[in-house]
Amino acid sequence: MRTNPAPRLGAVAAGAASLALISACGGEDPFEEDGEPAGDGDQVVVGSSDFPESTLLGNIYAQALEAAGVEVDTRFDIGSREVYFDQITSGELSVFPEYNGGILFHLDSEAEAGDTEETNAEVEELLPDELEILDSSPAENKDSLTVRADTADEEGLTAIPDLEPLAEDYTLGGPAEFESRPQGVPGLEATYGLTFGEFSALETAIIPQALTENDVQVANLFTTDPAITINDFVVLDDPENLFGSQNVTPLVNADSVDDTVRETLNEVSAQLTTEDLTALNERVSIDHDDPDAVAADWLESVGLD
């Protein structure tokens, strides 16, 4: 394993510290002792997962709904899909920023990856009656296998299959759930025949730093992570489309939302691009701007404030 100098470590470390700080915010108990939402029954409860982009999207949804006259409560930093999915199904949450491919593989680990339209059609067939998805955004944040630029140059790495002769000598770093999810380690083995020497389960915030310091040689990073651009990391092509479509898509509890909520969130989706999302993430995780303020600025810029 190589120990080449780590590029732009200071920037990534600062970003990681910001990510960790954001993840620590909003950790109050979201529910009362009886398991019902802490807000009253007339409120739309907007949730988020426990990583900065999800919190940012939750703020965008919540503020857009408030601007449309909807009474909103927020329950951010809840946890992974394995935790929050039951909460939105039961109605404890009303609205959640999701990714269409992530929902699909949560519902059917054997599903075939497809484009946005195909993915949404499959999701709609599989969702329980209590849930529905609204319009998907053009903004897409996919899983990736990412390497340092010097590693890519030295080994001629441009696509995931190029890792095949090297994987057994490499450590793959990613969130703990990547080790067992169908699009994670099992999918890499089944689709590309990759068996890594080790898997290192890491907090999302510190994965870029682990890659720069060569603690891991390959990282599972989301493609809108600003650390990719800042550190000149190389995202490897996924020719078999293992990671599928991952468009930002509102997931809602059907009985907890009305047409105003649906129409407002569809307007948000229509405006949000991958370029927007990457730039907003950089403001949050690198510039240390408050996600609430970043959301407000974006909504104003697209006329949805």
pLDDT value at residue 233: 97
Average pLDDT over residues 177-196: 94
Mean pLDDT of 20-29: 36
The pLDDT tens digits of the residues spanning 252-290 come to 999 999 999 999 999 999 999 999 999 999 999 889 999
Residue 7, pLDDT > 80, answer no
Mean pLDDT of 19-23: 34
Residue 41: the pLDDT is 54
State pLDDT tens for residues 271-280.
999 999 999 9
In tens, the pLDDT along 56-75 reads 999 999 999 999 999 999 99
Q: Residue 28: is its pLDDT beyond 70?
A: no
> Who wins on pLDDT, 294 or 80?
294
What residue ranges define each of the domains in the chain, with the CATH number in brackets?
A: 9-14+143-235 (3.40.190.120), 31-140+248-301 (3.40.190.10)
Residue 204 binned pLDDT confidence (cut-offs 50, 70, 90): confident
DSSP the chain: ---PPPTTHHHHHHHHHHHHHHHHSS-S--B-TTSSBSS-TTSEEEE--SSHHHHHHHHHHHHHHHHTT--EEEE-----HHHHHHHHHHTS-SEEEEEHHHHHHHH-TTPPP--HHHHHHHHHHHS-TTEEE-PPPS-B--EEEEE-HHHHHHHT--BGGGGTTTGGG-EEEE-GGGGTSTTSHHHHHHHH----SEEEE--GGGHHHHHHTTS-SEEEEETT-HHHHHTT-EEPB-TT-TT---BEEEEEEGGG--HHHHHHHHHHHHH--HHHHHHHHHHHHTS---HHHHHHHHHHHTT--
Looking at residues 112-139, what average pLDDT do you find? 95
Mean of pLDDT over the chain: 88
pTM exceeding the 0.85 threshold for the entire prediction: no
